[in-house]
Structure 1
Amino acid sequence: MRRRLRRAVLLFALLAVGGAAVGLTGLVQPPARQPAASRGHLTDGSGAGAHPERGGYPAEGTGSFAAADGRSPVRGYEGPLRRYRVVVEQGAGQDVDAFAATVDDVLGDRRSWIGSDQLRIQRVPEEAAADFTIYLATPATSERLCAEGGLSTEGYTSCRIPGRVIINLARWMDSVPDYGAPLVVYRTYVINHEVGHEFGEEHQACPGPGEPAPVMQQQTYGLDGCVANAWPYVDGQRYAGELVDGI
């Protein structure tokens, strides 16, 4: 009788411990795995689609511009003085003073347009005092500004309309495929080319395979067998090709 009672007590105790273990397991069991979130478009953290960029620079800026302060020295030797202002689009990620310094260095070089000894230049900060303004603008803004002068650039090329030299940020940062020269050469070219239009110069053709490209050749569209050249004066002489009709 006692033996049966002990067995019953032991069986009851085992059942109680097992039930407690089951209850404890239910308390610490991890919650059921939630379904994985569906994959969507990349975002910039604001809930909107990622801001489009090309080569690490914005495709579009604010549309407003900051002007470089101060004046450069008068560069050149003879002839009328042409004053220019330099501005950079806000939101373009470029320093206006650094851009202005590059423009000053290019236009103040003896190989640039002052090499004619018939022209002097100076950068000024005031819009009212400037004969023309040199812009560094994002592709979208560049396209809009050029279109105001009746030019279609498709957001790709730089342009000049009267009183405005508009440098496309995409070309400033990336140059063009197969240019065959460092970025600094292309930057020098595009400044001299577009400012050349402001000074009345027209497009020119490649003189022949292996020859330097005239600065007024549309080098952005290809060299046509010529070699990249950024300057209107080569070895102290004006270097040019035949005029291109209809462009």
Structure 2
Amino acid sequence: MTPSSPYGPPAPPDQSGRSAYGTARPANVRIYRRRRRSLLLGLLVLAAAIVVTLNRGDEPPVEPPATTTQGEMGHGGGAPAHPTPTSYPSVGAGRFTVADGETPVYGTDGPLRRYRVTVERGTGQDAHAFAAKVDEVLTDPRSWIASDELRVQRVADAGAADFTIYLATPVTSERMCAEGGLTTERYTSCRLPGQVIINLARWMEAVPDYGAPLDTYRTYVINHEVGHEFGEEHEACPGPGAAAPVMQQQTYGLNGCLANAWPYLDGRRYAGDIVP
């Protein structure tokens, strides 16, 4: 006896020989297969997206905006309103390269003061280029030789030099100045007996609100520190709108004066009151 079906008696076969129940199964299978194909297609799309994402990981990352380190602004009114990029190190090798050769003697009268010029290694600065600027300043008729009381000459031999002018990184200059009891906070230049130490940060950046080109500040700092070596003391601003004396501490601020790099103006010694 044929077992009864819970779904009722079998449907009569159609002309193709398939039962009525049999026609429902292929439809379900087709729906299943379509869903499976859709699922597989979705997985393939997802896999392709993952591959593209992974491949993008091999591309160089986008560089963040470049940042620069400014020289310490412990004096002189804080950081400039519009910082400019800098390209100098804060510390160097602690050893110096001497500019070779020598200059003629400049000046008309007085004792001869011989100086030597050196640049700390690792600063990216050329000793001969720095020496050329020093020579240009100290042999100018507006500089100290205008007194007709001294003459100058650059030499390379340490034994022949009366003093040495150093261009040193902030860390090295601070250490050198501290050996003579001076505090510079890696910011200012200084002078010790026989040593004029120019801070690389100031050489590269000058100071905020100086109101004059970098070359003017460089001329000023050479004349100022060498002026100390020649026995000059600090001087005060004569008054608002006046030229700043070269022995004024212009690095700390002009106090109403205008930037000035020379000790002699119009052939005459230009000075302010001595700062006690």
TM-score in terms of structure 2 length: 0.73
Name the CA shift for 1:52/1:13 in 2 (closer, same or farther; >3 Å): same
Where does 1:9-28 land on structure 2 (aligned, <5 Å)? 9=26, 11-12=28-29, 15-16=32-33, 18-23=35-40, 25-28=42-45
Deviations 1:143-163 (A, max 9, x none): 111111100011121110111
**Identical counterparts, % of pairs:** 63
Task: Check 1:13–1:184 CA distance in 2 against 1; reply closer, same or farther (3 A cut).
Answer: same
The residue number in structure 1 matching 2:272 is: 241
Cross-structure match for 2:103: 72
CA shift, 1:97, in A, is 2.0
> Is 1:131–2:162 an aligned residue pair?
yes
Pair 51,62 (structure 1): closer, same or farther in 2 beyond 3 Å: farther
Aligned counterpart, 1:186: 217
> How far 1:104 moved relative to its partner?
0.6
Residue identity in the other structure for 1:29:
L
TM-aligned CA distance change 1:230 to 1:51, over 3 Å: closer
Q: RMSD between aligned alpha carbons? A: 2.9
Counterpart of 1:73, as a letter, is P
**Structure 2 unpaired stretches of 5+:** 1-12, 55-62, 72-84
Deviates more, 1:125-134 or 1:97-106: 125-134
Corresponding letter in the other structure for 1:232: P
Which amino acid counterpart does residue 261 of structure 2 have in structure 1?
A
Q: Which residue of 1 aligns with 2:139?
A: 108
Does the CA-based 8 Å contact 1:83-1:130 persist in structure 2? yes
| Aligned partner (choices 259, 263, 272) of residue 232 of structure 1 | 263
Contact persistence 1:112–1:233 (CA under 8 A): yes
- 3-state SS of paired residue (2:198): strand
Q: What amino acid sits opposite 2:43 in the alignment?
A: G
Determine which of 189, 192, 195 is the counterpart of 1:164. Answer: 195
For residues 198-228 of structure 1, what are the alpha-carbon distances to aligned partners after superposition, in whole Å with 9 as ceiling and x for unaligned?
A: 1111112223333322211212222233332
Q: Secondary structure at the match of 1:29?
A: helix
Assess if the C-alpha contact under 8 Å between 1:52 and 1:58 holds in 2. no
Q: Which residue of 1 is the match for residue 243 of structure 2?
A: 212
- What amino acid maps onto 2:235 in structure 1? Q
1:63–1:89: 8 Å Cα contact kept in structure 2?
yes
Bigger Rg over Cα: 2
Query: Relative to structure 1, is the Cα distance of residues 205 and 8 closer, same or farther in structure 2, using a 3 angstrom cutoff?
Result: closer
**Cα separation, 1, equivalents of 2:257 and 2:236:** 9
In structure 1, what is the Cα distance between the partners aligned to 2:94 and 2:69? 16
Query: For residues 122 and 215 of structure 1, what CA distance do their matches in structure 2 show?
Result: 21
The amino acid of 2:197's aligned partner reads I
Matches of 2:118 and 2:233, distance apart in 1: 24
Does 1:98 pair with 2:129? yes
- The 1:184–1:156 alpha-carbon spacing in structure 2 relative to 1, beyond 3 Å, is same
Task: Give CA-to-partner distance per residue, 1:108-158, whole Å, 9 cap, x none.
Answer: 101111112222212222333322111112222221111111000111211
